[in-house]
Amino acid sequence: MKKNLTKAFIAILASLMLTTTFTSCGDDEKKDPETTPAVKVSKSYTINTYVDNARNFFPPKSYSSAGETMIVAADPANENKTVNIQYTSQSQPSWGVHTFTNVAVEAQDNTYRLTGNGKAQIASSRDGSIGTYDTTIDATVKDGNITGEINIPGVMGGITIHINPADFDDVINQ
């Protein structure tokens, strides 16, 4: 009888140990940290652009440029809640170097809206001197592509750089 109790005790103890072992494994799984919208849109984008001018100093949809680069990077100084954007115009004439910091990123479904202010450094067409101008960006990232506008109100009465406009192919083939 003592052997049967010992065997029963060992069997119960063994089953308790196995149950504890199997239930503790579920808590050991590592969970991915939550990715902020700013991190989700961070990458180097290839963009196509053309320019419009509010005062019609040149024809609409002028100075098109294909294959430019826009870099969007989450800002770790702001806990990856905003992005910094760098864009250097390659068109001729060049519309300068644009730097945007602390750009807000709003997420809705799988679409992200980027809005913010920055500075553009643009060389004068007259003497080549560099001027610094306020600039804004309003862009959307969807399916890995970026579209939108950069506005520079202080140049020629207002310049708008269109980022990946839907009609770019039609404009560049004119």
pLDDT of residue 22: 47
Whether 28 has a pLDDT exceeding 70, the answer reads no
pLDDT of residue 34: 65
- Domain extents in the chain: 37-172
Whether 47 has a pLDDT exceeding 90, the answer reads yes
* E runs forming strands in the chain: 43-53, 62-74, 82-88, 97-108, 111-123, 130-142, 145-152, 159-163
Question: Mean pLDDT, to the nearest integer, of 18-27?
Answer: 48
Question: Mean pLDDT, to the nearest integer, of 115-135?
Answer: 94
d(CA 159, CA 80): 30
Whether 113 has a pLDDT exceeding 50, the answer reads yes
Question: Mean pLDDT, to the nearest integer, of 57-82?
Answer: 92
Contact 149, 164 (CB under 8 A): no
pLDDT digits (tens, 9 = 90+) for 157-174: 999 999 998 888 887 776
Fold of the CATH domain 37-172: Lipocalin (2.40.128)
pLDDT, mean over the chain: 84
Backbone φ, ψ for residue 8 (5° rounding): -65, -40
Going by pLDDT thresholds of 50, 70 and 90, the confidence category of residue 15 is low
pLDDT of residue 5: 44
Question: Mean pLDDT, to the nearest integer, of 112-141?
Answer: 95
Going by pLDDT thresholds of 50, 70 and 90, the confidence category of residue 66 is very high
Backbone φ, ψ for residue 21 (5° rounding): -65, -45
Whether 17 has a pLDDT exceeding 60, the answer reads no
